[in-house]
Chain A
Amino acid sequence: MVTFIAGLLDATVQAATVLLLAGMGELISERAGVLNLGVEGMMLVGALGGFITTVLTGSHWLGFGVGILLGMVLALVHAFLCITLKSNQVISGVMLTLLGTGLTTFFGSGWVEESIDGFPQMTFPLVGQYLVGVPVVGEALFRSTATDYLALGLLVVVWYFLHHSNLGLEMIAVGEDPEMADTMGVSVFRLRYLAVLIGGGFAGAAGAHLSLAFSQLWVPGMTAGRGWIAVALVIFAQWRPRRMLVGAYLFGLLDALRIRSQSISLTLGPDAPLAGVINPIVEFLMTPQIMGTYPYLATIIVLAYAVIRTKSDQLAVPSALLQSYSRETD
């Protein structure tokens, strides 16, 4: 049981990093008032770009950088359409996911068989080698890839940036009340562009982490809906970075549990009372595909609960989300 839990925690950390990176980017973008439904596409572009770069140059850090850059390129299209041309954010986002999926399937078909040396597992700098032996949590916390640590570090940066730096607070103001922010001398357009670009960079990083550290190979469509989970995660976290951490690990745990659910048995013994009724239900609920629905269902329930329970003006959703800003409104 101890080895099972240790393995589960290790898998949770790995699964959570992708969601954490993509989710942070989405959070920043939405905080500034721009919904980005193109995360999935940006992740795929980042994953393929990072992979190809690493194959060609042998440097996984260069690949990671290219992944971030390509995520930002796609985000620039989103920013131009949504901010400059005031297009519908939903349509633009879905289009970018389609485009990213299509482009990577198209150009990535020749790279499926390639293999790379991606990010290696390493112990945490300085203290890791002493702590990795700690039972149950040692491996999970202190032996991971560099990008796992990077994601956690970035979470602190994002939290500080959004809630304690001028630029971050201005960004939040832009997402809450662009007219007011504009009156106060904040450049709404510039800050929204910045937020969307940062968001795309994070999505690209999430994709590059996926292909360079998590699976170390390229398969078309390898994000497998994780970009959409990241969008859901932001709602789940109610647009707060710290809750994002909890959410990412919770969703990561669900992912890890699903993969490993075959090796555990929670059914009652055949003689236990009600075993005949409870066991089939438990077995059904433990089926990997059924477990796969939990993150989505949990998000719908949390979203509905949050909206129904609080008055809409108390909900954390940025007030100007989905609204394009135009100075000429009278």
Chain B
Amino acid sequence: MNVAVTVDAREDIPVWLAYGTPVFTVLAALAVSAIALVVLDVNPVAAYATMFVDTLVTEFGLTETLTKAVPLILTGLAVYLPLKAGLFNIGAEGQLVAGALAGTWIGLNVSLPGLALVPLMFVAAAVAGGIWAGIPAYLRAKWDVNEIITSLLLTFVALELQSYLLRGPMQGGTGNFPQSERFSEAATIPELVSGVHAGLLVAVCMVVVTYVLMTRTRLGFEITFVGSNHEAARQAGMSKFYVYLFVFVVGGAFAAMGGISEIAGAQGRYRAGFEPGYGFTAIPIALLGRNSALKVLLAGLFFAVLFVGGSSMEVAFGVPAALVEIIQALVILFLITAEFFKSYRVGIDIKRGPTETPAQPQRGDD
């Protein structure tokens, strides 16, 4: 008996595979994570029921999810947009922190009525996040310095700066905690509906803006073109330089808006360590939603459910919230595994008896 595994490039992707991948991926990640629950002697079915049902049917769960989704959607866009141009923004976390710090500084030191102050905070945050992302973008666009490494390293610089500012110049409130003064009424992002702040509106608007940009404008076409073949784009007269700068700077501004929404909308003051890796969660979000900005929105909502459900599971079963991190990692793991099966067809050939030409593997079907 002779078993041969053949791998052939697919010419076209079957519809069920193209649309089913995100669903299969998530289900597989949940199934594998169940092992961790069983190890801890927790019934996975009951735990997942708590995680999803309680989050999606209670008012508290829903408002928490919508609030949590704001920074996730915005940082997701911050990774999605450069990805479209073929760039990796691994530093959305740093851009989020830089933006949140700048916005917080305005919120605490400028006195204006809320209608003017909150937009000003968003602008300040976006500018700071844009500059923070602009550094790796400029280095890449001008001199081809690898943007993955530089944007990542700047994240750690931003986190150290955050720690410095909140223990020094920006520290406020009582006690010795690394946190800022509480925001005034004017500097707080107003509520949209009960419990959900208006940052959600900003996030949805940015998704729509990105969607229109990518599908309806010349610039969006150029981004996609540069991303799929920058050599051909150059010959067609498109400037890689401006496209690279644009996607990164705008991405950084998106992440920064996510940061200031979370601080001024959900937290009420800047606390060190308020961001449980939003910038890194942004990577699976952008990957799940890489086909369209609208899918980034859906993926952001899904991860928000995971975060909120994760903490209610933590309360109910004493399961460490780190399970959410494991699920996230597994989602990426299965997603990139699925990419392989999307582009290759794997066949297993079983023949009885020895084959004369083992060097010539045969196709399984056709």
Please report A residues at the B interface, Cβ cutoff 8 Å: 37, 77, 81, 85-88, 90-92, 94-96, 98-99, 101-103, 105-107, 109, 220, 225, 228, 231-232, 235, 287, 289-290, 292-293, 296-297, 299-300, 303-304, 307-308, 312, 328
Contact = CB atoms under 8 A, between A and B. Distances in A.
A293 B160 CA distance: 6
B260 to A, nearest CB: 21
A292 B139 CA distance: 23
B88 interface: yes
Contacts of A304: 139, 143, 145, 150
Interface in B265-296: 277, 280, 283, 287
Contacts of B160: 289-290, 292-293, 296
A103 B40 CA distance: 13
A102 B156 contact: no
Nearest to B327: A102
A92 B323 CA distance: 19
* Chain A interface main SS type: helix
A86 B340 contact: yes
Contacts of B90: 37, 90, 94
Contacts of A300: 135, 150, 153-154
Indicate the size class of the contact surface on chain B.
Answer: 35 or more
B145 A303 contact: yes
A308 B143 contact: yes
Contact of A106 (B36, B88, B144, B153): B36
Interface stretch (B60-68, B236-244, B331-339, B347-355): B331-339
A102 B332 contact: no
Contacts of A90: 88, 90, 148
B54 interface: no
A184 to B, nearest CB: 20
B329 A85 contact: no
A106 B320 contact: yes
A303 B324 CA distance: 35
Given A87-B340, A102-B322, A300-B150, 15 more contacts: A77-B333, A90-B148, A98-B328, A98-B332, A99-B325, A99-B326, A105-B320, A105-B322, A106-B325, A289-B160, A296-B156, A296-B160, A300-B154, A303-B149, A304-B150
A185 to B, nearest CB: 17
A155 to B, nearest CB: 23
A307 B141 CA distance: 12
Interface stretch (B107-115, B161-169, B184-192, B227-235): B161-169
Interface string B289-331: 0000000000000000000000000000000101111101110
